[in-house]
Structure 1
Amino acid sequence: MNRIDLNGQHAVVTGGAQGLGFAMAKRFVASGATVSLWDIDEAQLHAARDELGNATSTQIVDVADWDSVKTARDRTEETGGEISILVNSAGIAGAAAPLDSYEIAMWKTVIDINVNGTFHVNRAVVPGMKERNYGRIVNIASVAGKEGNPNAAAYSASKAAVIGMTKSLGKELAGYDIAVNCISPATAQTRILEQLTPEHIEYMRSRIPRGRLLEVDEAAAMVAWLVSKENSFTTAATFDLSGGRTTY
């Protein structure tokens, strides 16, 4: 494993108790950063902190709730110091169903967590980064946001919104030493697959030319560079982790 220098950095990782977020937090700790895990699952947070050790702290956060996010930001900076790195990994897949029969409540939940949640966390953290003229932000999108997956209109739409939000914010902050990028992974081997049918998972795997799902450590390796000081120029960009699936 190449060691990216994140010494002296303080990272917030939403959805950091498991899956992609946890893999990224683990990589950050190994690279010298302190990490605050934000997640709604208290039991998973405790388990994640036990594994990652004293370089981590935790906050129970509902990213869909603005007041919860603000409180978490304040507590995080009080105990862990200024936030210099942000990874927005909290998200849900939602149900697999055709758009014309998709449950309206489920649609709203997916949008609220994946889109509004990403907006809330960026809105909370960006002012401090602007004040200090430094920050690195990575929002987690999906190849579904570029290509659209059948029977996953809510998820696909939410991740397309994350890509658009990232490009907009990156341009807004281009005059600062703040980089805002996103990654668009193909299907990864995480617990989010528990929300999907085996048929839906197999459809997504079949679309990947490498013939397998993304490993979480592969995503963490890319993101570790994106949040480093070495990434001093690239911003408002989308980085694919599609195993050859994405064509644009």
Structure 2
Amino acid sequence: MKNILIVGGSKGIGNAILLQQLEQNKVYNISRNAPEVTHDNLVHFSLNVLEDALPEIESIDTIIYCPGSINLKPINSLSIDDFRNDFEINVIGAVKVIQKYLATLKKGTNPSIVLFSTVAAKLGMPFHASIATAKAGVEGLVKSLGAELASAVRINAIAPTITDTTLAAGILRNDRMKENMVERHPMKGYLQATEVAGMADFLISDKAKSISGQVFEMDYGIVSFKI
């Protein structure tokens, strides 16, 4: 049984990861709202990761940092605070968590970290300036820490395309928009949260013990293919 710390496990991709891991592992969840599930293997801490002190946790094998944002506006409609807030949610929060728990994590079994980027960090998309900038910071953090911690902790990121979660509800708000999103992707689909959870499960497993410093695009072909 692993000790897994999930930040942002109450909704969306984080919740799918939490539900996937609960039966086999001890899961510590940090989020402002509690997950809609109770389990003997779940310990929840209600707090704002950017503003509040992080709890003491004695044993950690894996950190999965899930908070993110979808803040899509033309550049002239984005304020400096928009850029600052997106960067804090996606990068500074992850840094705060890693710094807090790194010494504990290093003592874990096959210790690993999983962060989240986006396909928009590599594929230029209009109205994504703020979130793409923040997620590019996440990818830089993965590369740098991958090298710095190479002998001690693995760190990777997942870069999903649009995923059917509450965070993306505005983009997938009706059948026509869902159909348009399917057509935009060469492989004619978009992600479900359980698919992303499956990738996270692989990256924290012994099967991925040779993998660190990588960003894995789950993109239904939108970055890789032009068809």
Summarize the alignment of residues 48-59 of structure 1 with structure 2, pairs less than 5 Å apart: 49-50=37-38, 53-59=39-45
- Residue in 2 aligned with 1:37? 29
Question: What amino acid does structure 2 have at the position aligned with 1:22?
Answer: N
Specify every segment of 5 or more residues in structure 1 that has no aligned partner in the other structure, as ranges: 1-7
1:10 pairs with 2:9: no
Distance 1:132-1:35 versus aligned 2 partners, 3 A rule: closer
Q: SS state of the match for residue 110, structure 1?
A: helix
Give how far 1:198 is off. 5.5
Alignment RMSD, CA only?
A: 2.2
Summarize the alignment of residues 141-220 of structure 1 with structure 2, pairs less than 5 Å apart: 141-176=117-152, 178-194=153-169, 196=171, 205-220=182-197
Q: Distance in 2 between matches of 1:205 and 1:142?
A: 17
1:130 pairs with 2:106: yes
Residue-by-residue CA offset, 1:187-236 (whole Å, 9 max, x unaligned): 1000111455859x667554321222201111111111111123211100
Residue-by-residue CA offset, 1:47-79 (whole Å, 9 max, x unaligned): 2x33xx2111111232223xx2x532x1xx1xx
Where is the helix percentage greater, Structure 1 or Structure 2?
Answer: 1
Summarize the alignment of residues 24-103 of structure 1 with structure 2, pairs less than 5 Å apart: 24-30=17-23, 32-40=24-32, 42=33, 45-47=34-36, 49-50=37-38, 53-65=39-51, 68=52, 70-72=53-55, 74=56, 77=57, 81-94=58-71, 96-103=72-79
Specify every segment of 5 or more residues in structure 2 that has no aligned partner in the other structure, as ranges: none
Question: What amino acid does structure 1 have at the position aligned with 2:94?
Answer: T
Q: Distance in 2 between matches of 1:113 and 1:107?
A: 10
Question: What amino acid does structure 2 have at the position aligned with 1:36?
Answer: Y
Work out which of the residue numbers 203, 218, 236 in structure 1 matches 2:213: 236
Give how far 1:133 is off. 7.2
Q: Distance in 2 between matches of 1:170 and 1:232?
A: 13
**Identity, % of aligned positions:** 23
How many aligned positions are there?
A: 222
Residue-by-residue CA offset, 1:102-157 (whole Å, 9 max, x unaligned): 12222221111111111111221222223457411110111112223211211111
Give how far 1:21 is off. 0.4
Q: TM-score if structure 2 supplies the norm length?
A: 0.89
Q: SS state of the match for residue 230, structure 1?
A: helix
Q: SS state of the match for residue 119, structure 1?
A: helix
Question: What amino acid does structure 1 have at the position aligned with 2:47?
Answer: V
